Chains A and B, each alone.
Chain A
Amino acid sequence: MSFDINKIRADFPILEKEIYGKPLVYLDNAATTQKPLCVVNKIRENYLNNNANIHRGVHFLSQVATEAHEAARETVRKFINAQHAREIIFTRGTTEAINLVASSFGRSQCKEGDEIIVSHMEHHSNIVPWQLLQAEKGIVLKVIPFDENGELQLDKLDELITEKTKLISIAHVSNTLGTVNPVADIIKKAHSHNIPVMVDGAQSVPHMPVDVQALDADFYVFSGHKIYGPTGIGVLYGKEAWLDRIPPYQGGGEMIQKVTFEKTTFNELPFKFEAGTPDYIGSTALAEALNYVSAIGMDNIAAHEQELVRYTLEKLGEVENIRFIGNAKHRSGLVSFLVGNIHPYDLGSIIDKLGIAVRTGHHCAEPVMAAFGIEGTVRASFGIYNTKEEIDTLVAGVQRAAKMFKRRNG
């Protein structure tokens, strides 16, 4: 299928909405994406026709729902090119997936004084779980710094790695700077020291083809709702060898093999990590979203969004006193900026009234803000349905706001 922007836009009914009487310009896709009709319909169809608790049910509907859930797992496997479907664990999202690894890997593999390496550009979701582990186990959290362009200083990685390093956990794409990190190189280096790597793919999976085997990632996590799927469903990919070695995260139904009050034995992968009733409605709707983007082609999507980023940098670059936060050579999906001394909250509030949805603030990455000595940025983030005309609207809105705050913008 070729990339037909009008056809794609027609698949997303919400894009026809007007906000304060102006056409919606939705540029907050890094926070969450809008949903195509096929995903919404899938959820509806599931509840209307295929709803029954999955696994272990002998009745017809339970079988249908179970097959759909497991077919969804296979769709995810194929989408990120994992070796086995049992290496795909459904979670509530990226945050839960990272917490799962921090908890299970941390409890079983780390002791006091052991080290975990993250980067300075992580989302709080890839910082706080490690701090919890720090408080519980006394591990040490080490941080790869980035330079003024927002690129990781990988020469520093050699100094950070020691014989106590247990895991490197790093964002594939920064949610604030848009930097695409060279995770393949990081993984290669880590593996040469026998250190496993977890990749936070929340901002990469929606925007580029990802092949976990080619990357040789040990763990790779992402959220469904950022790739046109429903909220509340996400994915933890883990190499089978690792998932076998680490203990269950939560206890409950489905994840057990046999329970007595003396001893419980756990189910095999992937069920060992899916306690409680799985979100089979969400998993199948996520699969629908993945099939949707696959039909368009991740390469086509990447090319379209790269062009949007290039165009935004060019057009916004003409705004007086604009300052881009993050100027990495290899970037994806979003543009963070400030105009003069205008506070991001003020700018965001004004362009909101023009129907433009952007995010303002620290984007749950306060250490990034601290590194640049700023409180926040305005972030425009793109999806498959965005157009150059929408970016023109954004630029006009920013110009308009800049005029209103001219007394500050100097």
Chain B
Amino acid sequence: MTIAEKQEEIIEEFEFLEDWLDKYEQIIDKGLANPGVDEAYKIDKYLIEGCQSKVWVHAEYKDGLVYYQGESNTDITGGIVAMLVYILSGHTPQEILDTELYFIDKIGLKEHLSPTRSNGMLAMVNQMKMYALAFKSQEQA
């Protein structure tokens, strides 16, 4: 599946959930199903510290594709992290860099990406793109 197809898939999943709490249930489930980051990466070096919650993110580059791991100490942020990891993993650095993550807005979670929420989400998205950029430059060097 392309990144766009994955985003559409998630948007569709949430479309049927009218009630806010049902949406959050779904997000929490996604977080709980996410294996998270290997213990070795659960260190400060991979920590993005928000004012309210913490996020760890790590990426590997294999055969031209980027594979992410991510985790949070809060369930709601953790669910969004899980979706980001699912959507962006297994794609080329260029595909990732070209991606606009519109699904967050579409499923009504835009507020969790606001800088004032200080939950580390915005920084995480930036960090994921930074990894892609680093792998791309590594490739070209």
A interface residues, Cβ below 8 angstroms from B: 20, 342-346, 349-350, 353-354, 360-362, 375-376, 400, 404-405, 407-408
B21-A349 in contact (CB<8A): no
Contacting B20 at CB < 8 Å: which of A353, A375, A405, A407? A353
A345-B24 in contact (CB<8A): no
B interface residues, Cβ below 8 angstroms from A: 20-21, 24-25, 28, 32, 51-53, 73-77, 112, 119
A353-B52 in contact (CB<8A): no
A404-B52 in contact (CB<8A): no
Residues of B within 8 A of A353 (CB): 20-21, 24
Name the residue of chain B whose CB is nearest to the CB of A375.
B73
> Whole-angstrom distance from the CB of B46 to the nearest CB of chain A?
18
CA distance A117 to B74 in the complex (A): 36
Max chain B C-beta neighbours (<10 A), residue from A353, A354, A400? A353
> Whole-angstrom distance from the CB of A224 to the nearest CB of chain B?
23
B76-A349 in contact (CB<8A): yes
Name the residue of chain B whose CB is nearest to the CB of A343.
B74
Contacting A404 at CB < 8 Å: which of B28, B51, B53, B112? B28
> Whole-angstrom distance from the CB of B117 to the nearest CB of chain A?
9
Do most interface residues of chain A lie in helix, strand or loop, or is the interface mixed?
A: loop
A345-B52 in contact (CB<8A): yes
A376-B52 in contact (CB<8A): yes
B51-A361 in contact (CB<8A): yes
CA distance A362 to B73 in the complex (A): 15
A360-B52 in contact (CB<8A): yes
A20-B76 in contact (CB<8A): no
> Whole-angstrom distance from the CB of B35 to the nearest CB of chain A?
15
Report if A343-B32 is in contact (Cβ < 8 Å); known contacts: A353-B20, A404-B24: no
Name the residue of chain A whose CB is nearest to the CB of B19.
A353
B24-A349 in contact (CB<8A): yes
Residues of B within 8 A of A345 (CB): 52-53, 74, 76-77, 119
Contacting B24 at CB < 8 Å: which of A343, A350, A376, A407? A350
Residues of B within 8 A of A400 (CB): 21
B25-A343 in contact (CB<8A): no
Residues of B within 8 A of A375 (CB): 73
CA distance A349 to B77 in the complex (A): 10
Max chain B C-beta neighbours (<10 A), residue from A345, A361, A376, A407? A345
CA distance A375 to B120 in the complex (A): 15
CA distance A354 to B25 in the complex (A): 14
Q: A344-B52, A345-B77 are in contact. List 13 more A-B contacts (CB 8 A).
A: A20-B20, A343-B53, A343-B73, A345-B52, A345-B74, A346-B28, A346-B75, A346-B76, A350-B76, A353-B21, A404-B21, A404-B24, A408-B75
A346-B32 in contact (CB<8A): no
Max chain B C-beta neighbours (<10 A), residue from A349, A354, A362, A405? A349
Name the residue of chain B whose CB is nearest to the CB of A348.
B52
B32-A407 in contact (CB<8A): yes
> Whole-angstrom distance from the CB of A385 to the nearest CB of chain B?
25
CA distance A48 to B9 in the complex (A): 55
CA distance A20 to B24 in the complex (A): 14
> Whole-angstrom distance from the CB of B113 to the nearest CB of chain A?
13
A405-B52 in contact (CB<8A): no
CA distance A360 to B117 in the complex (A): 11
> Whole-angstrom distance from the CB of A321 to the nearest CB of chain B?
16
A361-B75 in contact (CB<8A): no
CA distance A8 to B32 in the complex (A): 45
A405-B51 in contact (CB<8A): no
Residues of A within 8 A of B112 (CB): 349
Name the residue of chain A whose CB is nearest to the CB of B109.
A349
CA distance A376 to B49 in the complex (A): 14
> Whole-angstrom distance from the CB of A180 to the nearest CB of chain B?
28
CA distance A346 to B117 in the complex (A): 12
CA distance A362 to B20 in the complex (A): 26
> Whole-angstrom distance from the CB of A393 to the nearest CB of chain B?
15
* Subset of 22 A-B contacts with CB under 8 Å: A20-B20, A342-B75, A343-B73, A344-B52, A345-B74, A345-B119, A346-B74, A346-B75, A346-B76, A349-B24, A349-B76, A350-B21, A350-B24, A353-B20, A362-B51, A376-B52, A400-B21, A404-B21, A404-B24, A404-B25, A405-B28, A408-B75
